[in-house]
Amino acid sequence: MTVAPTLPGAVTVRVPAKVNLELRVGPRRPDGYHALATVYQAVSLHDEVSVARWDDWEVVAAGPYAERIPLDGDNLAVRAARLVADRWQVDERVSIRIDKDIPVAGGMAGGSADAAATLLACDHLWGLGLDRDELAELAASLGSDVPFSLAGGNAMGSGRGEQLAPVLARGTFHWVFAISDTGLSTPQVYAECDRLRERDGVDVPEPHVSAELMAALRSGEPAALGAALHNDLEPAAFSLRPQLRELRDAGVEFGALGGVVSGSGPTVAFLTESHEASLDLSVSLAASDLCRDLRRAKGPVHGAQVVPAPRD
């Protein structure tokens, strides 16, 4: 695949993937969304998004997941750029280059990350000087995970997940992410969650983050965090993709401190004791042939950041 180089004058932003340490899904709201309570952690898998002035709206893609990126107006990054241009009456168009290292449709906010990066890049490209609250408001209008992609670190999300609050945490955590061949549709996973709950007659309470998870983050103890990982969407993901349960169980059997489907899946996140333990787990999972790809990362890391331009 031939990809155009980054254009002169481009602003480049580096943006991380996320994992949901806990995801509690409440009742479906009248607007069709579900009430959520979640704790995000940004991890060291990054996309780089470069935005430059151009004579038309354009997306070009590079990286291991480039072939799965939409290159038209359906791309969330294009919508982000148009939103900034429309809101501040900027009569220019941009070319957006996405160097894609975050899995697509994997439950790690890959599309949301690119939208967040584009917001920040357009702000710098056009010299708008937007503050954090203005960027966060734009981000929330684009998608539930976009505000966190801007913020990074650890944060608690409520509402649709877009209302963020800081989380007290300490330590660095080491992850192994098992990547599936094909993605899972987020609306399909939520619909399956609703179907399973209706079938089982589940009375769905308003969601709240558990005290156990918050205490584990404050302690910085990987074992405590591994035991507290939770995702209410996991049964739905397992129903739609039964092999994910086998994969999660295998990872725990191979020594992970805990395993959980990330977001709406199908990526399965495994927490390990250390960098060395993540290497060992990766070797065991690769030998099991239960997933297409494995990535190691650590968290938390910073959110979207402008990459300094190289000096001449």
Identify whether 18 is a catalytic site residue: yes
Sign of CA dihedral 211, 214, 219, 220: positive
Q: What is the mean pLDDT of residues 34-44?
A: 95
How far apart CA 124 and CA 130 sit, in angstroms, is 9
**Residue list, annotated binding site for ATP:** 103-113
Q: How many residues does the chain have?
A: 312
**Which of the four pLDDT bands, split at 50, 70 and 90, describes residue 72?**
confident
Catalytic residue, from 18, 100, 114, 123: name it: 18
Q: What is the pLDDT of residues 1-12, one digit of tens each?
A: 344 456 778 999
Q: Is 100 a catalytic residue?
A: no
Domains and CATH numbers, the chain: 11-167 (3.30.230.10), 173-299 (3.30.70.890)
**What is the tens place of the pLDDT at every residue in 246-298?**
999 999 999 999 999 998 889 999 999 999 999 999 999 999 988 888 999 99
Identify the pLDDT of residue 50: 97
Does the pLDDT value for residue 82 go beyond 60?
Answer: yes
Residue from 91, 145, 249, 280 carrying the catalytic annotation: 145
